[in-house]
Amino acid sequence: MLVTKCKGVALLIAFPLSTYLISLSQQEHFDKVMTFIQQTPALKDIDLFHDFIVVTIIQYAILLLAFFVIIFFVNRNIRKIWHPFHDTLDKLKKFNLEQQNKPVFIDTDIEEFSQLNNALSALMDKDISSYLSQKEFIENASHEMLTPLAIIKGKINELLQKNLPDDQAVILNDMYEEISHLSHLDKGLLLLAKIDNRQYSSTAGIELNNFIKRFIPSYECLAATAVEFNSSVENFTITANTTLLESLLNNLVVNAIRYSSENSPIQIILNENKLIVTNISDSDEPLDSTKIFNRFVRNNFHKEGNGLGLAIVKSICDYYDWNIHYDYASHKHTFTINFNQSATS
């Protein structure tokens, strides 16, 4: 149907060509008439040339006007024909699989575009179904693994309390650490699955100054060094889920502790609408800013962690449309979260 409608464009090419051919035939006819007049003495005094020119100008003016009118309506019709395609293209650009916001395409009587929309709708239905199945599997698998992992940790811990030979104690201790690592990994995957499923819809007004101060003693025990908190604002309140905000802060600070040099303080700074976490490291290399927020990515010179901490931080920021930025200068790593318009002071 689209091809049939577009055939009208060919008429635009044929129209001026036919006009040109008509003008050639008129010129030949005019030459014959003028020859006849010149050979007829009684007609020599009649000024037909002027009248013929006037009529020709009027004729061409009418043809030119008709040509532009046709062009106008053809262009208007073409834009109308391609409107469903551009509408589909715009909606595809806005489609987000994680948010599952499947677009609704407009109805069109153009068969090709209608088939395209149906095919895209079927493809998106399949992708959304696969995505939900995958997330459900990860969440269920992570949840089911927590109980046996806790039991194994408990049994190993009981064995460690007994008087075992040193070589056996070392093996059991290594097993305990690996089980703990696997347990943390499982909890991280479960948290990410819940964030992706948007299961943390409950929110509350959280005053960040008191919220952060509550965790400082725990962070200092982990870091075995000073954890400094400075705030330039008072009564800084943000609307978020308490569990997610606690996870975001913990993962940021633990990451800073993990990559911090010995006896170097960890700084947590709260400015207007911004949370900044900084640490100084021994390495003279920055983290890879293109990969640090990906899952299971760890720095080459550090083997601790499960590679999910910063991925969780990024997922929480995306969940609330916050911006997070990493910067490095002179051995100093800086993570800055901009809360945009979500916070008030």
- pLDDT confidence of residue 245: 94
- pLDDT confidence of residue 25: 52
Q: Of the candidates 273, 269, 259, 185, which has an alpha carbon nearest to the alpha carbon of residue 227?
A: 269
- 24-39 in b/e form (b: 16+ CB < 10 A) is eeeeeeeeeeeeebee
Read off the pLDDT band of 31 (50, 70, 90).
Answer: low
- pLDDT (mean) for 91-114: 84
Pull the structure tokens for residue 311.
Answer: 């991925």
Pull the structure tokens for residue 160.
Answer: 């460690």
Q: Comparing 12-16, 88-92, 228-232, which segment has the lowest mean pLDDT?
A: 12-16
Block residue for tokens 């010129």: 27
| pLDDT at 44 exceeding the cut of 60 | no
Say if residues 229 and 256 touch (Cβ distance below 8 Å). Answer: no
Taking the mean position of all CA atoms in its chain, how far away is CA 65?
49
* CA-based torsion, 13, 18, 19, 24: positive or negative: positive
Read off the pLDDT band of 3 (50, 70, 90).
Answer: very low
Say if residues 260 and 277 touch (Cβ distance below 8 Å). Answer: no
Q: pLDDT tens digit string along 268-292? A: 999 888 999 999 887 778 888 788 8
Taking the mean position of all CA atoms in its chain, how far away is CA 322?
14
Q: Of the candidates 185, 235, 167, 178, which has an alpha carbon nearest to the alpha carbon of residue 206?
A: 235
Say if residues 130 and 138 touch (Cβ distance below 8 Å). Answer: no
- pLDDT (mean) for 293-313: 73
- Beta pairing class for 332-338 and 274-280: antiparallel
DSSP structural state of residue 283: -
